[in-house]
C-alpha cells in the first residue's frame, strides 16, 4: 500500500460528484422512498421491514461505491499513466491493494449515511452489537464488488466505464434483491437473484439482524464470490501489466 497514492485517489474521487451522488444520494433517496413509507410494525424475513430495507440500501450504497474504483483504474490506464508508474519504485501489487483499499474507504460514507437515517428517521432500534455486526458485514460485503470494479477498470475504456459501472450496479442491485425483497416477487426472480453476489451480501448483512445471527451459508457464498472475482481481477491486472 502507498499512503500518498491513497490520499491522491481520495482527493480526486471526492471531486468527482457523479460518484458521490450515485453512491451516497441514490441509496439514501431509495431508503427514504421505500423504507420510511413502511409501517413501523411491518416485518420481513423475521426482522423489522424498515431495518430490512435500510440494510439493503446501505449494502447497495457500499456496493456501488466500491465498484466506482473501476473508473479510477480505467482513467489511469488511459494516457500512459501506467507507464509512468512502471518508471517508479511502486510495485504493481501495491497498486491493486491501493485500489481495493480505496474501494473499501469509498464504501464507508453510504453505510454511515443510510444507517444514521434509519436510526433517526426510521426509528430502527438495534443493540450496539447488532449495529456493529451489520456495519462490519455490510462494509466487508463490498469486497466482491471492489473486485468487480477492478475487472471493469481493466476491460473498459475511460469513456465507457461510467455507463458500464452504472448499468451493472443497477442490474446487480435490482436482480440481487437489494431494491425490492425477492420474497415478494415470483419465485423465478429468487432463482435469478441467487445468481448474483448482491443477493448473498444482502442476505448476509440482513441475517446479522435476525435471532439466529449471521447466515453462514450466505457468508460462504460471499467469500466464494470474492475469491473468484478477485482471481479474475488479478488475471486482468497481470495481462495488463505484462503488455509492454
> Where along the sequence are the contacts to other proteins (CB under 8 A)?
2-5, 7-8, 11-12, 15, 75-76, 79-81, 83-90, 244
Q: Smallest distance, Å, CB 102 to other proteins?
A: 13
Q: Smallest distance, Å, CB 60 to other proteins?
A: 27
| Smaller CB separation from other proteins, 56 or 98 | 98
Spatial CA neighbour of 76 closest among 147, 5, 145, 143 = 5
| Smaller CB separation from other proteins, 86 or 191 | 86
CB distance 31 to 57 below 8 Å: yes
Spatial CA neighbour of 54 closest among 77, 69, 38, 70 = 38
CB distance 67 to 169 below 8 Å: yes
**Beta-carbon count within 10 A of 159 CB:** 10
| Smaller CB separation from other proteins, 2 or 194 | 2
The neighbouring-strand residues paired with 227 are: none
Q: Smallest distance, Å, CB 34 to other proteins?
A: 34
CB distance 101 to 1 below 8 Å: yes
d(CA 21, CA 104): 17
Spatial CA neighbour of 176 closest among 189, 163, 164 = 189
Q: Smallest distance, Å, CB 68 to other proteins?
A: 14
| Smaller CB separation from other proteins, 71 or 149 | 71
Q: Smallest distance, Å, CB 241 to other proteins?
A: 11
| Smaller CB separation from other proteins, 40 or 84 | 84
* Gyration radius of the chain over CA positions: 18
Amino acid at each position: 500500500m502507498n499512503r500518498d497514492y491513497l490520499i491522491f485517489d481520495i482527493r480526486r474521487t471526492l471531486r468527482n460528484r457523479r460518484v458521490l451522488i450515485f453512491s451516497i444520494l441514490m441509496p439514501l433517496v431509495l431508503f427514504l422512498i421505500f423504507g420510511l413509507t413502511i409501517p413501523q410494525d411491518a416485518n420481513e424475513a423475521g426482522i423489522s421491514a424498515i431495518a430490512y430495507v435500510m440494510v439493503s440500501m446501505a449494502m447497495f450504497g457500499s456496493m456501488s461505491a466500491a465498484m466506482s474504483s473501476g473508473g479510477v483504474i480505467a482513467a489511469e490506464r488511459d494516457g500512459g499513466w501506467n507507464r509512468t508508474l512502471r518508471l517508479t519504485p511502486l510495485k504493481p501489487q501495491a497498486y491493486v491493494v491501493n485500489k481495493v483499499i480505496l474501494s473499501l474507504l469509498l464504501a464507508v460514507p453510504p453505510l454511515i449515511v443510510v444507517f444514521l437515517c434509519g436510526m433517526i428517521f426510521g426509528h430502527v432500534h438495534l443493540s450496539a452489537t447488532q449495529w456493529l455486526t451489520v456495519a462490519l458485514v455490510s462494509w466487508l460485503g463490498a469486497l466482491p464488488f471492489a473486485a468487480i470494479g477492478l475487472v471493469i477498470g481493466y476491460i473498459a475504456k475511460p469513456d465507457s466505464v461510467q455507463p458500464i459501472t452504472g448499468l451493472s450496479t443497477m442490474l446487480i442491485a435490482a436482480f440481487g434483491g437489494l431494491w425490492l425483497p425477492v420474497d415478494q416477487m415470483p419465485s423465478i426472480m429468487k432463482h435469478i437473484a441467487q445468481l448474483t453476489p448482491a443477493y448473498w451480501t444482502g442476505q448476509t448483512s440482513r441475517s446479522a439482524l435476525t435471532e439466529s445471527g449471521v447466515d453462514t451459508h450466505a457468508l460462504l457464498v460471499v467469500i466464494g464470490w470474492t475469491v473468484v472475482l478477485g482471481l479474475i481481477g488479478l488475471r486482468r491486472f497481470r495481462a495488463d501489466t505484462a503488455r509492454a
